[in-house]
A and B are shown apart, each in its own frame.
Chain A
Amino acid sequence: MAALALPKRRAASGGAGPLGLGIATLWLSIIVLLPLAAVLAKSLEGGVGGLVDAITAPSARAALLITVGVSAVVALINVFTGTLIAWVLVRDDFRGKSLVNAIIDLPFALPTIVASIVLLSLYGPRSPIGLDLYATKPALVIALAFVTLPFVVRSVQPVLMEVDREAEEAAASLGAGGWTTFRRIILPSLYPALLGGAGLAFARAVGEFGSVVLIGGGIPRETEVASQYIAKQIETDRPASAAAVSVALLAISFAVLFALRYATSRRER
């Protein structure tokens, strides 16, 4: 009898069945959606006016601007250094290359507070080379560059590996120099990966907390980033303000990720 039974057509809810889908939805709701909704609700506790006031308070505004500014700079830095590193990893060959390749993932696996201490030991007041960047914007850039290192590299690497060598060779045989070849043949195919990687780096940087908390100094309006401001608002018993700035920060991350997704899908067409 079983041999004659037709295989069940794929149900509308797929391999997990309607129960599985229900479980997944419930899980995601309890863990992610409902708490985030609570943030949104709290931010609107004083109405839209309250939300706007909390976000435009001088220190809040400064924190958001610093965060976005420094993260943008870091994303840009990553575009260059990430491509450079990916290029060297794909096209070059030297002893220890696989070790270097593995090291790229280290910031991904390393706890952020450890990153903060690590960078502080070299670039802080106890620096053995006398380079004290504690509580300066460059310190923020260094910390964020550290934690976002893998993003662009790992985005670009697979694309570089697939690049059509023939076009490059043709260009070379026609007399194009290395840089021209790179600029006109290779780079265009990298744009989506670059944008994607830079976007991820930016989104990660704007939310970063652990790695900047020790070396950044958290000086309001100078080196205090949005996540530190939010933590401060919670610690001084101002949850509505914390929620409001959280919403602003989330909006910024989502906007950038969304814009990037839109830009890359347009390019791919």
Chain B
Amino acid sequence: MRIALRTAALAYLGALVLVPLGMILYRTFENGFVAFYEQVTTPAALAAVSLSLTIVAIVVPLNVIFGVVTALALARGNFPGRGILQAVVDLPFAVSPVIVGVALILFWGNDGWLGGALPVIFSLPGMVLATIFVTLPFVVREVEPVLAEVGTDAEEAAATLGASKWQTFWRITLPAIKVGLAYGVVLTVARSLGEFGALTVVAGGVAGESQTLTLLVHARYIDDHNVFGAYAASTLLMGLALLTLVLMTTLQRKRA
């Protein structure tokens, strides 16, 4: 019985996840490593990698700062509307990425609420905003429960001993949330690298300028008819995803 269940579970996972992934890896490397390397080092591919990483480099610090502030407010605070704030933080999980793109266009675009006052759509700020939207919950949700669990005793003690708010934060609070924060950051990075739906709507998609790795994969498959190139870029993204997965698993163990 146990064997039957195990086989069923593994068969499902195999057919759904492992075999397709194996297919891509096989197709990517069946012509040798050099072919793969060439496809991921074309100028457009390098620019795409650079852009994807640039977005991550901007999104992570912003999410850390504002995420920790929000987590503090939610975990330690008791104010009217706390439930609403909590719900708003969870909101991005329920919003389709395409809708994120639409929302940004309708707010920041030339015909939007701000009348296009700031050049956001079709340029880097737009892509950053879209990515922040979809990654907003991660840091908050990972840090908040830790803050709630850890409690304020140590911080209050520090306050009585004369520590300033900043000192308390830096030396007491931050170390306590370190692991949760790291996990939230890893999730943020993974999600940022994978963002696609919102970017299709909001990004210029110009090769070499406003094309992230995910957009490059799509463009290669559909526009360039470069199926092998699409597989190669996908494998690159998969590699980054696997790296993130490893980090996630390691940090999960630390949390537990």
Chain A residues with a Cβ under 8 A of chain B = 2-3, 5, 7-8, 10, 12-17, 20-21, 23-25, 27-28, 31-36, 38-39, 41-42, 81, 84-85, 87-88, 91-92, 94, 100, 102-114, 117-119, 121-123, 126, 128, 142, 145-146, 149, 178, 200, 203-204, 206-210, 213-214, 226-228, 230-231, 234, 239, 242-243, 246, 249-250, 253-254, 257
Let me know if B77 and A13 touch, CB within 8 A. yes
Q: What total count of A-B pairs have CB within 8 Å?
A: 274
12 contacts between A and B (CB under 8 A): A14-B78, A15-B155, A32-B88, A35-B106, A35-B108, A41-B106, A42-B106, A81-B12, A106-B17, A114-B237, A117-B221, A234-B102
Contacts A111-B237, A113-B196; is A100 near B10 (CB within 8 Å)? Answer: yes
Residue among A31, A118, A242, A254 making CB contact with B21, cutoff 8 Å: A118
Those 7 A-B pairs whose CB atoms lie nearest each other, nearest first = A14-B77, A207-B96, A111-B194, A15-B76, A14-B76, A35-B103, A209-B197
Measured between beta carbons, the chain B residues less than 8 angstroms from A123 are 20
Chain B min CB distance to A172 (Å): 13
Let me know if B112 and A38 touch, CB within 8 A. yes
> Chain A: interface secondary structure?
helix
Contacts A31-B132, A111-B237; is A24 near B95 (CB within 8 Å)? Answer: no
B113 interface residue per 8 A CB criterion:
yes
Residue among A20, A85, A105, A249 making CB contact with B99, cutoff 8 Å: A249
Let me know if B249 and A102 touch, CB within 8 A. yes
Distance, CA A5 to CA B132, complexed state (A) = 41
Distance, CA A142 to CA B234, complexed state (A) = 19
B64 interface residue per 8 A CB criterion:
no
Measured between beta carbons, the chain B residues less than 8 angstroms from A214 are 218, 221-222
Contacts A5-B160, A84-B12; is A227 near B103 (CB within 8 Å)? Answer: no
B206 interface residue per 8 A CB criterion:
no
**7 further contact pairs, Cβ within 8 A, besides A207-B96, A209-B98:** A2-B162, A84-B5, A102-B246, A113-B218, A121-B24, A122-B20, A146-B17
Contacts A13-B79, A39-B103, A122-B20; is A117 near B245 (CB within 8 Å)? Answer: no
Measured between beta carbons, the chain A residues less than 8 angstroms from B94 are 203, 207, 250, 253-254, 257
Let me know if A231 and B98 touch, CB within 8 A. yes
Residue among A38, A103, A119 making CB contact with B18, cutoff 8 Å: A103
Chain B min CB distance to A66 (Å): 14
Let me know if A13 and B10 touch, CB within 8 A. no
Measured between beta carbons, the chain A residues less than 8 angstroms from B101 are 231, 234
Identify the closest chain B residue to A101 (Cβ): B249
Q: Contact mask B53-74 → A, CB, 8 Å, 1/0?
A: 0000000000000100110111
Chain B min CB distance to A153 (Å): 10
Let me know if B238 and A21 touch, CB within 8 A. no
Distance, CA A258 to CA B100, complexed state (A) = 21
Identify the closest chain A residue to B159 (Cβ): A7
> Chain B: interface secondary structure?
helix
Chain B min CB distance to A45 (Å): 10
Chain B residues with a Cβ under 8 A of chain A = 1-2, 5-6, 8-10, 12-13, 16-21, 23-24, 27, 66, 69-70, 72-79, 85, 88-89, 91-108, 111-113, 129, 132-133, 136, 147, 152, 155-156, 159-162, 165, 173, 190, 193-197, 200-201, 213-214, 217-218, 221-222, 227, 230-231, 234, 237-238, 241-242, 244-246, 248-249
Contacts A31-B129, A114-B217; is A108 near B77 (CB within 8 Å)? Answer: no
Residue among B17, B104, B214 making CB contact with A107, cutoff 8 Å: B17
Let me know if B245 and A85 touch, CB within 8 A. no
Measured between beta carbons, the chain B residues less than 8 angstroms from A209 are 96-98, 196-197, 200
Distance, CA A7 to CA B162, complexed state (A) = 10
Let me know if B72 and A16 touch, CB within 8 A. yes
Measured between beta carbons, the chain B residues less than 8 angstroms from A39 are 99, 102-103, 106
Identify the closest chain A residue to B25 (Cβ): A118
Distance, CA A243 to CA B213, complexed state (A) = 28
Let me know if B197 and A112 touch, CB within 8 A. yes
Measured between beta carbons, the chain B residues less than 8 angstroms from A108 are 190
Measured between beta carbons, the chain A residues less than 8 angstroms from B193 are 111
Chain B min CB distance to A257 (Å): 6
Residue among B5, B69, B100, B108 making CB contact with A88, cutoff 8 Å: B5
Distance, CA A254 to CA B94, complexed state (A) = 7
Let me know if A121 and B70 touch, CB within 8 A. no
Let me know if B136 and A32 touch, CB within 8 A. yes
Interface centre among A3, A5, A27, A128 (most CB of B within 10 A): A27
Let me know if B76 and A110 touch, CB within 8 A. no
Let me know if B23 and A106 touch, CB within 8 A. no
Residue among B69, B102, B156 making CB contact with A230, cutoff 8 Å: B102
Contacts A39-B102, A109-B244; is A114 near B238 (CB within 8 Å)? Answer: yes
